[in-house]
Amino acid sequence: QQSELNSFLWTIKRDPPSYFFGTIHVPYTRVWDFIPENSKKAFQQSHIVYFELDLTDPYTMSALTSCQLLPQGENLQDVLPRDIYCRLKRHLEYIKLMMPSWMTPDQRGKGLYADYLFNAIAGNWERKRPVWVMLMVNSLTEVDIKSRGVPVLDLYLAQEAERLRKQTGAVEKVEEQCHPLNGLNFSQV
């Protein structure tokens, strides 16, 4: 029963109460039906909502994109072993070939085209740091492609907060997320 599910909601006892809710970066439609009512109610009753990052802010999105890039003048083929780079390139060519068959009629009806989607996800991949390429490749699956266009849970809640005219903010800066990932060495990646 939904009332018995772990809600990932913590209450900070104060007046008025504050809540801490753990989200996951997946399309909200995959998890929304499993979020217990107490979590949804806490969100509805809240006047101020803070997120990990402000995914509705163009600067945040631009900074996330920039932090993924290798230093100026470097390309992925300069930093990856040749065999891995060639395998990656072949795999991305395969993904690009398969994407039209992975897209849903609903996505096509909304004007989403496979080439556009591939470029939105994998564009400029040769300039990205290996850790970000790894994360990108992990998201290039048929299941993930079919759900593109559906906001991840964090973004959905941020959009809902804006729609409901709640005050919003972020607890982290892009750099706080990027620097630890960019600091991983090649063997860790």
Please determine, for residue 7, whether its predicted confidence score (pLDDT) is greater than 90: no
**Domain spans, the chain:** 9-183
Question: Structure pTM?
Answer: 0.79
Q: Residue 11 has what DSSP assignment? A: E
pLDDT reported for residue 12: 87
Mean pLDDT over the full length of the chain:
90
pLDDT reported for residue 16: 87
pLDDT reported for residue 55: 86
CA distance 163 to 179: 32
Q: How confident is the model over 24-57, as pLDDT tens digits?
A: 888 899 899 988 888 999 999 999 999 999 988 8
What is the percent of the chain where pLDDT is above 70? 96
